[in-house]
Amino acid sequence: MVALLLALFLNSKIYAADIINAKKLFDIEVENPSHLTECLNKIWVFSAQEKSFYVFKKENGQKIAQLKLNDIVSALGCRKSQLLIATSNSGIKTYELDENIKLRKLKFFKIPHQGQITDLQCNESNCYLVVAGFVYKTSDLRHWIQIKVRTYDNITHNNIDTSTNPFDDWQEKLQKTKGKITKVLPLDSGRLALLDPFRANILINDRDQWSRWGNWGVWEGKFLAPKAFSYSFSKMIFVSDPHLKAISVFTDDGKYLGVLGENSNFLDISYPTEIYFNDDILYIIDFFKSKFQGFEVSSYAIKKSHLNDTKADRQFRYNLFRREDVIKDREKNRCLLCHDGTLRDDKTKYINSHKQHPVKTTCTECHDPHHIKILKKPQQELCMSCHKEHVKMGHKADRCTDCHSAHHGVEKTLKQQMPSLCINCHQFKKFEHRATEHMMSLENAKGIKFINNKISCTTCHVSHGQKVKPESIMPFCANCHGQKADMLFKNFHKRQAHK
C-alpha cells in the first residue's frame, strides 16, 4: 500500500494530463518580446531587444508595421484610440493612433506612486495600474484612486475546504510572505482580478466583496510562478506559469479545467511573458524563444472537454515539473522570475544575441543568490576564472569592466563601439584614416581588422594590450605607402599628436 502511494506521488506519468487541445494559427519571430496589448483591433508586441513595436493583424498574425521606440517599456495599455506606455518607473506616455499605424505623442502623466510598474490595463470606463505592488484606478490618467486589498486572512479561499479535509489549509499555514500584486485584469460586471505570484493566488474583487483561489505546487491546477493571466467572457481565466512551462485554464471562481496543449502534447513554450485572449484566440509572447504565437481555443471545447472528463475531480494529477524540458531550463528561468520586472526589470540582461555574455549555463556561474555581495568572488578574480588567457594582459585597464559590460553590450560585450571605447582613455592617440574599401579585396588584406572599412585601433593593437607584429601588416600598408610604410608605422601616433 505504501509503495503504491509513493508511486502515485513520484511517477508523473501514472495519470495523463488534462490537455485542452488548441490549434496553432501562427508562429512569428520577434526578438525577445516582453509586452503585448490590443489597440485599434490590432495586436501590438514590444521587442525588448530591438526596442521596437511590431503591429499584427488579430486574425492571422500578419505583420502590418514595425515602429522604433527609444524607451524602456514596463507595461502597455490601450484606451480607445490611444496607446499607453508605462516607461520604467517614471510615468505613462500616451500616443494617438490612426488607421495608418502612426504614433503621435500626446501627453505624459505622472503616476501616483514611485516604484516598479508591473501592469497597466484599461476597459471602456477605467484604467488600472500596478506599481510597487499597489493597485490604482483612474478614469482620466490624472486622478488616481488606490484600491485597498484586504489582508489574506480576511479573504475566503475558494480552493480550501477544511470541513471535508482538516489538512486542506496546510500550505496556507506555512506561508510566510505577505504577497505582492503584480498584475491586474478587469473582468465583466465591474469585477477585478489581481495576480500575486509570490503566494500563487488570484484575488477577485466583486463590488468590494473579495475572494481568492490558487495554490502553490507542481501538479496540474497548481502554480509555481504565475506570471500573466487573461480573461474570456465565457467566465474562464487563462494563467501562464513560466516555471512549469504551462498555460492553465480555470473558471473565474478557481475550478481547474485543464492545461493547454497541441495535438495532445504540451505547448512548446519556454517563458510565456504575457498572454491575451480575445475572440477564441490566445496570443502568447515567449521571451526566451523569441516568439509571438496565436492559438485558436474554443470556449465551448474547453467546457465540453471538462464535462466529459471523468478524471476531473481526481485526487492525483500530472506532475508538470517533472517534464524533461522544464527541468532542463529550471536554473535559467528561476532568476528571471523576479528579474523580468516583477521585482527588478533586468530583462535586457537575458537578451539572446551575440552581444550577450556567453555564460555556459546559468546566472549562478557568477552569482550567489544568498551571498550579500551577490558575486561569488571579487570581480576581477571572477572574470579571470574563465578568461585565464588574459591574466597577464598588457593593457593598463584596472578592471575587465572598464571596457566590458558584465552582462551585455555591443560586440563581445564591449560598452561602446570601437574606436570610441579606446578614445575614452587614449584621447591623444585619436586619429582618422580614409576609407579603404577599395583595398579590402587584396590578398594581403586578409586577417587584418577593419571597422567600417577603415583602419582602426584594432588594426594594429590586440584589445588586451599586445601589439600586432609589423611584418603581418606591413605588406598591406605598403600597397599605398610603399617604402614609407615602415617609418609611418613606427611614428604613427607621434605624427597624429603633432597634427
- From CA 220, how far away is CA 266, in angstroms rounded? 12
pTM of the model: 0.81
Q: How confident is the model at residue 10 (pLDDT cuts 50, 70, 90)?
A: very low
- Is 417 within a domain? no
Same domain, 407 and 433: no
Boundary of a domain, candidates 266, 298, 332: 332
Q: How confident is the model at residue 468 (pLDDT cuts 50, 70, 90)?
A: low
- Is 372 within a domain? yes
Same domain, 454 and 306: no
- Which comes out higher in pLDDT, residue 118 or 416? 118
Q: Which tens digit of pLDDT belongs to each residue from 382-427?
A: 888 888 777 655 566 677 888 887 777 667 778 887 778 888 888 7
pLDDT value of position 238: 97
Report the Cα–Cα distance between both ends of the chain, in Å, rounded: 91
Q: Which of 320, 312, 262 lies closest to 13, judged by CA?
A: 320
- Is 48 within a domain? yes
Spell out the residues 6+ positions from residue 460 whose beta carbon is closer than 8 angstroms to its own. 467, 468, 473, 489, 492
pLDDT at residue 495 tops 60: no
The set of long-range contacts for 154-157, using a CB threshold of 8 Å and a minimum separation of 24, is: 154/210, 155/203, 155/210, 155/211, 155/212, 156/210, 156/211, 156/212, 157/211, 157/212, 157/213
Same domain, 155 and 187: yes
pLDDT value of position 418: 78
- Is 450 within a domain? yes
Do 94 and 84 meet the contact criterion of CB atoms below 8 Å apart? Answer: yes
Same domain, 391 and 490: no
pLDDT value of position 5: 47
pLDDT value of position 221: 92
Same domain, 281 and 405: no
Spell out the residues 6+ positions from residue 227 whose beta carbon is closer than 8 angstroms to its own. 182, 183, 197, 240, 241, 242, 272, 273, 274, 337, 340, 342
Same domain, 319 and 379: no
Same domain, 139 and 284: yes
- Give the number of domains in the chain: 3
- Is 431 within a domain? yes
Supply the range of the domain harboring residue 295.
15-159+173-332
Q: Which of 251, 236, 242, 210 lies closest to 223, judged by CA?
A: 242
Same domain, 309 and 232: yes
- Is 347 within a domain? no
Q: Which of 264, 224, 259 lies closest to 242, judged by CA?
A: 224
pLDDT at residue 132 tops 70: yes
Q: How confident is the model at residue 30 (pLDDT cuts 50, 70, 90)?
A: very high
Q: What is the mean pLDDT of residues 460-472?
A: 69
Same domain, 122 and 269: yes
Which range of 101-110, 191-200, 333-342, 353-362 scores highest in mean pLDDT? It is 191-200
- Is 283 within a domain? yes
Q: What is the mean pLDDT of residues 185-206?
A: 95
Same domain, 293 and 377: no
Length of the chain (residues): 499
pLDDT value of position 69: 84
pLDDT at residue 306 tops 80: no
Cell numbers linked to 434: 580614409
Q: Which tens digit of pLDDT belongs to each residue from 221-254?
A: 999 999 999 998 788 999 999 999 999 999 999 9
